[in-house]
Structure 1
Amino acid sequence: MRYRYRIFPALAALLLITTGCASLLTVPGTPVVVEPLPTVEAYMAQRIDWQPCENGSAECGSIRVPVDYADPGAMAINMPLIRLRATNPAARLGVLTANPGGPGESGYEQVRYALNPKDTGLRKFRIRYDLVGFDPRGVGRTAAVSCLSDKEMDDYLATDFTPTDAAGVRQVADAHKRYAAACLRHTGKLLGFLGTEFVAQDMDIMRSALGEDKLNYFGFSYGTRLGQYYADRFPAHVGRMMLDSIDDPSQTTDRWDFTPDPEPPDPTRLWAQDRTVRDMLTACAARPDCPLDHDPDIAMRKLRELIDRVDKNPIPTKDGRKLGSNLAVLGIFEATYDEAMWPGFERAFVDALQGDGTGLAQLADGYVGRSKTGRYTSSQPAFWAVQCANDDPKSYRSKSEEQILAELQHNADRAEVTSPLFGRNRAFSAPLCLFWPVPPTSVSKAAHAIGAPTIVLLNNTGDPATPLTEAQHVAEELADAVLVVRKHEGHIAFDNGSACIDAIAVGYFFDGVVPDRGTRCDD
């Protein structure tokens, strides 16, 4: 079962500040649907008319991309771009673009943040690269997916995704169906053309429009899947590519092909996220100032009891919402991505025990893209639109709703054994794709990128979102790849406290230095 991937910390801070603002939404006055061009070759021949952005510190432009590459002359959308020119033009190496993850996060904002002197991520590469940012189709400024209103989204997230009877299971299904139907109603035809394979083709149009023979790329989390798709489809156009926190596309399974496992679930094989929560509570217990119990077993018991309690009786938050079990679980789940969130989780846990759900709700808001003003970005609906595109089109709608609900119940019962904290909730909240209104467009499979230059992979040992085993498998599947492993808990290796990892990234992008196989970073 796959979960949403997070971006690196510096950008996360920016997105939390600007969430709900026009900068993360389709810009008013910017056309979404534009005049199509007759052929793919015509799209490739575009040139970008760069103009100063509003604040004058960056350049803005756009390209057109066809909605359907099989029928390029039927419909096109506008893809806004942002460019920060290399600060040392004499040493310029080309263009560097990136994707921060999700799917659903903004690559446009990721590059825009490099203007901030506090940025220690992409900003360092600007010395020798033009940084070019874009939002994948369906995200942010590029024809953003639209589904529920802000109030409707609040209501959806207040759904009890831990049902214990048939009526509760039916309520879950109805919530998913309302969400899916709203996506089709507000997004229209584009909803069926948001798969990763389309974005990879859009990237090659962007490369051509930039006048570049090669595209240099830094992908994070889901962005590593996008990088693999691009390198597999356009190996001759790959420049220097680094992928951080590896998403293995071959691990995606057919959601409609449910075969019950005859073996009972093993309670000793806990999900990575449950293990991370245990680590969070243990780390707190070892500190004299821990606000939680100094026995992690007791703290874990209190956490489970809290989830059960707010499931039955939601507690208030300071913004007027109620914290039920779903928001509580999402808040705890969000904290597992980065050790920097652990102190905030501790405070939120203590507050919730005292009847104030604000802290856990705010952690959950970071996960679903909700601002302090109650506005949602396009990240959550875009996430589902892309995820639901990755499946076998032949299996779509191959089961009745009754079969689906019975299988969800079975999955929930099993998941609860190996994930007492998250299993039941995730089993019922994650299968939105089973109710999706448009069929998937491609079966995910391993990428090989035969003919591409060496691709450098980074992964933490204790990443709960993109486990090291997936990175190891991708390294084996790619024709030419080197995996660098960092001994660290949490998601994202680069720009996350490791001088070793950061030096490898700079050496690779600036000087083309490929690290030795088996390289490890322990800082």
Structure 2
Amino acid sequence: MFKSVSGVLTAAIAVAALPAVSAHAQQATIPARYTQQHLNWQACDDAPTLECAAMTVPRDWHHPEAGHDLTIAVSRHQASDPAKRRGVLMMAAGGPGGMGRKRPANFVKQSPAVGAAYDVVSFDQRGVGRSSKATCQTDAEMTDFLAHDYRDRSAAAIRRVLDNSRKLAADCAKRSDGLLPYITTEQTVRDMDLFRSLLGERKISYYGPSYATMIGAYYATLFPQRVERAVLDSNIAFNGSWQDFETGQPKSFQRRFEQDFLPWLAKYDGIYHYGKTAAQAKANWERQRAALSKKPLTDGSVTIGANQFDNATINAVYEAQNFPMLASSLSAFGHWKSATPKEKGTAEALAANYGTGFLAEYFSVTCADTSWNRSTDYWIKRSAKDNAQLPLAGARELSFSAVCANWPTATAPKVKVTGAGLPATLMLNSVHDPATYYEGAARAHRALHNSRLVTVTGDGDHGQYQNGNSCVDHVVEDYLLNGKAPAHDITCKGKPLPVPTAG
């Protein structure tokens, strides 16, 4: 699952072994045209506080002379206090499918002390943004892939879902000019290490949220001697596969919806009039969804059916600050003709389908990093159970899993994350995170030796640093600025849920 409200999305990490010594030897054979290139820094045309450049990388780091070169769009915000500068903090984006190039601007705005001490750098990962991109389908084709009602388990509906998933996988392979096998996490971290080298840095520190925790863990495994400090925020399960991780998400999204959002919605029935108990609110939500399944709402080019209704809810529950927006959107869906332009805009943004550019990288990474069960019968049976018991995210399980079941055979080297050779690493996770669920984060913590887990209790937000929690922010900044990692795992109390205003 992924997140479009704030652009942070989720994923999982692969297992198996590519020894770090082999990685280093492979680096030593990279042609000089890559390792000796000059980054021509210029003011970013769309982010005035940053500098941008284009970095050339091989399509395949393991066979750098084969295939055409790729371009990686990189950025930097130089330390605002050179006297306090202590190095480079590299960031990556979540997803897979998120873009990182512009992220340092907001990051240093929210954490000026970190921005004073570090050059904060980032990049659009291979496959997205202004870097070399994959192409899968047109917007119209992707809209059709995400149309219909994923809860429909009729024979005709299942055939349609499977046909659409096969078509998407085939279109991605056909239209991406041979790029798909090389849009992997393992290739991305080698891009990162070239970036580090071209910056003239022996070591980097790192901050990564969501899927970027996987990127950071891979980098730390292949290049442990290059890591000074690392913060992994809202973690996936490092000791499992993408399949293992993603089939765990229906439970955590349902938990967040039923245990956090619905009780909150019922508490403010005087404002939203959606039910005085969580059970009543859920019943009203189900009735509204059923109505949209039977007759989707259309307004110009906008169509909101059952899947888009699900999407609005999934997007919103990533962060509690979005609860009021979701509540008002549920109301707007019920009186669309009289809804204000602001209400409609909020509802449409929450319900928006994932873009074709996002899903091109999302499937490239999730389907290629680790192997998938390719049995159609398995996914029909598995998804039927999750669709019935955990429908918020379980309804779409067949569609998304069937894409990976039809993806070209994965060839990416596998990386077993252990934490060997790393300094103390900081991990953050809330207990009700719907996307990077706590149970997976705890497993990742046990697998990543010498890590410290900051558990945020009474909270379900995805992304904890710079989220308004002073306890978390203090721990992270004491670590990044002063090198003080907690001696052991600690807890921070989560923020209170938002209080809506009437009107």
Displacement, 1:112? 3.7
Q: Which position in structure 2 is the counterpart of 1:389?
A: 368
Deviation at 1:430, TM superposition (A): 4.0
Task: Report the Cα offset of residue 355 of structure 1.
Answer: 5.3
> Partner of 2:149 in structure 1?
160
Give the secondary-structure state (helix, strand or coil) at the position aligned to 1:71. Answer: coil
Question: Percent identity between the aligned chains?
Answer: 28
Q: 1:293 aligns with which of 261, 268, 275?
A: 275
Q: CA deviation at 1:114?
A: 4.5
Q: Quick check: 1:86–1:130 contact (8 Å CA) kept in 2?
A: yes
Q: 2:212 aligns to what?
A: 223
What is the match of residue 382 of structure 2? 411
| Distance change (3 Å), C-alpha of 1:427 and 1:443 | farther
Residue in 2 aligned with 1:129?
118
Would you say 1:46 and 2:32 are equivalent positions? no
Conserved in 2, the CA contact under 8 Å of 1:5 and 1:102? Answer: yes
Instruction: Please tell me the residue identity of whatever aligns with 1:291.
Output: H
Partner residue in 1 for 2:253: 273
Tell me the residue number matched to 1:372: none
How far apart, CA to CA, are the structure 1 residues paired with 2:263 and 2:49? 46
Output the CA distance in 2 between the equivalents of 1:224 and 1:124.
23
Whole-Å separation in 2 of the counterparts to 1:433 and 1:160: 20
SS of 1:161's partner is coil
Q: Which residue of 2 aligns with 1:232?
A: 221
Change (3 A) 1:6 1:513: farther
Task: Say if 1:166 and 1:208 are closer, same or farther in 2 by CA, change over 3 A.
Answer: same
- C-alpha separation in 1, matches of 2:418 and 2:201: 23
Moved more, 244-253 or 129-138: 244-253
TM-score (norm 2): 0.85
| Paired residue type of 1:184 | A
Q: Secondary structure at the match of 2:63?
A: coil
Q: d(CA) in 2 for partners of 1:164 and 1:485?
A: 39
1:241 maps to 2:222: no
Please name the residue that 2:291 is paired with.
Answer: 309
Question: Cα–Cα, structure 1 residues 145 and 444, in superposed 2: closer, same or farther, change >3 Å?
Answer: same
Partner of 1:79: 72
Residue of structure 1 in register with 2:497 after alignment: none
Q: CA deviation at 1:164?
A: 2.4
Q: Quick check: 1:120 aligned with 2:107?
A: no
Runs of at least 5 residues in structure 2 that lack an aligned partner in the other structure: 10-26, 495-503
How far 1:146 sits from its partner (Å)?
A: 1.8
Report the AA paired with residue 120 of structure 1. Q
Q: Is the 8 A contact 2:229 2:480 kept in 1?
A: yes
Cα deviation for residue 480 of structure 1 reads 1.5
**Structure-2 change in CA distance of 1:345 and 1:383 (3 Å):** same
The 1:505/1:41 distance shift into structure 2, 3 A limit, reads farther
Classify the secondary structure of the residue corresponding to 1:431. Answer: helix
2:55 matched residue in structure 1: 63
- 2:272–2:328 contact (8 Å) kept in structure 1: no
The 2-side partners of 1:310 and 1:243 are apart by: 39
- C-alpha spacing 1:490/1:446, structure 2 compared with 1 (3 Å): farther
318-327 or 463-472: bigger deviation: 318-327
Alignment check: 8 A CA contact 1:85 1:129 kept? yes
Match of 1:19 in 2: none
Deviation at residue 422 of structure 1 after TM alignment: 3.4
What's the counterpart of residue 21 of structure 1? none
Return the alpha-carbon distance in structure 1 between the equivalents of residues 255 and 49 of structure 2: 45
Which of residues 319, 327, 330 is equivalent to 1:346? Answer: 327
Q: Deviation per CA, 1:95-122: give whole Å up to 9, x if none.
A: 111113111111102124347xxx415x
Whole-Å separation in 2 of the counterparts to 1:469 and 1:506: 26
Alpha-carbon offset, residue 510 of structure 1: 0.9
Structure 2 partner of 1:98: 91
Query: More deviation in 76-85 or 441-450?
Result: 441-450
| Matching residue's letter, 1:286 | K
Tell me, yes or no, if the aligned pair for 2:275 and 2:284 is still in contact at 8 Å: no
| Counterpart-to-counterpart distance in 1, 2:169 and 2:449 | 38
Bigger mean CA deviation after superposition, 307-316 or 509-518: 307-316
RMSD across aligned positions (CA): 2.7
Could you tell me how far apart the structure 1 residues matched to 2:101 and 2:289 are? 37
Following superposition, the deviation at residue 39 of structure 1 comes to: 4.6
Q: Following the alignment from structure 2 to structure 1, what is the Cα–Cα distance between the partners of residues 413 and 229?
A: 27
Q: Report the counterpart of residue 373 of structure 1 in structure 2.
A: none
Moved more, 332-341 or 409-418: 409-418
In the alignment, what sits opposite 1:515?
486
Q: CA deviation at 1:360?
A: 4.5
Tell me, in whole angstroms, the C-alpha distance in 1 between the residues paired with 2:225 and 2:209: 22
- Residues 432-489 of structure 1: CA deviation (Å, up to 9, x unaligned): 21122x2223476641131111111111121111122222222211121111111222
Q: Per-residue displacement from partner, 1:247-273 (whole Å, max 9, x unpaired)?
A: 113222668xx9xxxxxxxxxx98221
Contact kept, 8 Å, 2:368 with 2:411, in 1: the verdict is yes
Superposed CA offset, 1:202-224 (max 9, x none): 11111111110001110101000
Partner of 1:101, secondary structure, is: coil
Which is further off, 341-350 or 41-50? 41-50
Question: Which stretch has the larger CA shift, 340-349 or 43-52?
Answer: 43-52
Letter in 2 for 1:447: V
Q: TM-score, normalised by structure 1?
A: 0.82
Single out whichever of 139-148 and 450-459 deviates more from structure 2: 139-148
Report how far residue 511 of structure 1 moved.
Answer: 1.0
Who is 1:20 aligned against? Answer: none
Question: Separation in 1 of the partners of 2:427 and 2:236?
Answer: 11
* Contact 1:447/1:477, CA 8 A, preserved across alignment: yes
Give the counterpart of 2:181 among 180, 189, 192: 192
Aligned partner of residue 101 in structure 2, secondary structure: helix
Please, which of 502, 505, 508 is the counterpart of residue 476 of structure 2?
505
- Is residue 2:479 matched to residue 1:479? no
Q: CA deviation at 1:282?
A: 0.9
Alpha-carbon offset, residue 193 of structure 1 = 0.5
